[in-house]
Amino acid sequence: MNLELRGKNVLVTGGSKGIGLACARLFLEEGANVAIVSRSRENLDRALAQLPAAKAIVADLTSAADAGRMAEAAAKQLGPIDVLVNSAGAARRYPPDELSAESWHAAMDAKYFTYIHAMDAVLPAMRARKSGSVVNIIGAGGKVATSIHLPGGAANSALMLATVGLASVYGPHGIRINAINPGATITERIREALELEAKARGTSAEQVLEEGQRKVPLRRYADPADIARVTLFLASSQAAYVTGAILPMDGGANPVI
């Protein structure tokens, strides 16, 4: 299948590691021009060692002004942005008895507003050209509540609503906006969670991983490349009639509509 991504200009937030890095890698393999974004220059340098063809932009997307500068820098380095992939931001997990107003605000800043600011910065130029695609990577915690991830889950739920709402608004202007809900995916973040759970239970991270994967019908957690391949499809012309979709990718772990 020809995804027709060669020569497309792609901006990937959170592109220095995890799912974002996997997306950047596959877009480059398809012949796209790619800029990756992170708050950390160090993380970007590590990513560029793997993906020397990518451009790098340092930006803190909790700031709308920084998001605007990111969009300007990306357009200057690549040209008009054809595809925005949002994979930045991760809300901290809290035990229920440690929740406070600050916890909820921090989660919205870390996850919700990083995506909203990026879209606000990129969508006007896409609208002017009547062309563009956005793929938001939004954790499955927005659909299935867990006691230690309530603020982050709420931010994810809000992002899903924003995704389908903006898809309706921008569809008449030739712009498609979709989202993917990954379940547990083997990234640095999941490894940290495994270590924390293992410590709390007095066991090994390997044992926790094995037990977790047995609960998934496909009997494994996702690899970042699994998510990236579907991201490329949604961003491509092969998905030209797909917009406002929220696609679960949890290996069947949550059998819900």
For the segment 16-38, what is each residue's pLDDT rounded down to a tens digit? 999 999 999 999 999 999 999 99
> Per CATH, is 9-185+225-246 categorized as 3.30.70.270?
no
Kindly report the backbone phi and psi dihedral angles of residue 17, in degrees, each rounded to the nearest multiple of 5, phi listed first. Answer: -160, 170
pLDDT (0 to 100) of residue 75? 98
Residues facing 222 on adjacent strands: 185
Q: What is the pTM of this model?
A: 0.93
pLDDT (0 to 100) of residue 61? 97
Query: Between 94 and 254, whose confidence is greater?
Result: 254
For the segment 63-113, what is each residue's pLDDT rounded down to a tens digit? 999 999 999 999 999 999 999 999 997 767 767 777 788 888 998 999 999
* Domain edges within the chain: 9-185+225-246, 186-221
Angle (CA) 133-21-242 rounded to 5° is 25
